[in-house]
Amino acid sequence: MDILSVENWDLGLEMPLYIAGPCSVETPGQLDQTVAALVNEGVKVIRGGVWKPRTRPNSFEGVGSKALPWIKEVKDKYKVKFAIEVASPIHVEEALKFGIDIFWIGARSTVNPFTVQEIANSLKGIDIPVLIKNPVNADLALWIGALERFHHAGIKKLGAIHRGFSNFNDKTYRNSPMWQIPLGLKTYFPEIPLLNDPSHICGRRDLIPQIAQTALDLNFDGLMIESHIDPDNAWSDAAQQLIPLDLGQLLRTLKTRKVDV
Ligand code: PEP
Ligand code: MN
């Protein structure tokens, strides 16, 4: 099957797509307060990590399955959609029991074709949007390959997230944007819904507006941004999360008009 025959990429979600929420779901209270504040800022799709593949051992690896009923509760209470990362077929199975709306594949999973294939197989016949983050390393083919594996497994609602690339020499960004790579993806799949994740590119909150605006200027289709009710005390990625008020302010000031190219 030739993925290039896919003409109508459709995530089944409103575009531009703005997803915001904490790096990690920590406690029922943190989740409820963060979602309430984000809904107040007009956010309709929430993100939150449940299982967190961390680079180093002995870091917080997510609260796991016990977060799923908390998520179900905020979904019902605030009428929001909820996106989480899945990194194994077991995660998929567990998450589907609690009506999770959107899955994303993390940068540390996209690098591994066997992992990608296993997750894709576990989603066969399931109609759920899946967003694939770029691999941690600057390898466009690996990113394309992951999208192809999901497409070949029959998953129709596919999109991509640009979260930057690991780079030993970059002192400014946590992950270098290397814009030519997501733009290369757009050249290969012109219609693919492509989001930008400025949080994991920047690693610090002050740089986020500039990267988010650059993405929109480059015709990205949306953003995924980390936001936490109390970022300084977050259990993961404290330096890059925005308070919901600042997130709302950012979304209001970004210029979203698409430029014809
Ligand atoms: C995340 O979204 O919190 C995350 C771990 O992202 P990435 O896979 O891009 O590192
Ligand atoms: Mn994070």
**Which bound ligand lies closest to the C-alpha atom of 47?**
1
Secondary-structure class of domain 20-53+60-253 per CATH? alpha beta
Q: Give the pLDDT of residue 259.
A: 55
Q: Give the pLDDT of residue 9.
A: 78
Residues in the chain predicted with pLDDT less than 70, given as ranges, are: 1-8, 257-261
**Which bound ligand lies closest to the C-alpha atom of 240?**
2
Q: Report how far ligand 1's centroid is from the alpha carbon of 261 (Å).
A: 30
Q: Report how far ligand 2's centroid is from the alpha carbon of 177 (Å).
A: 16
Q: Report how far ligand 2's centroid is from the alpha carbon of 260 (Å).
A: 32
Nearest Cα residue to atom 3 of ligand 1: 23
> Contacts for 120-127 with beta carbons within 8 Å, 24 or more apart?
120/149, 120/150, 120/152, 120/153, 120/155, 121/89, 121/153, 122/89, 122/92, 122/93, 123/92, 123/150, 123/153, 123/155, 124/153, 124/154, 124/155, 125/154, 126/92, 126/96, 126/155, 127/156, 127/157
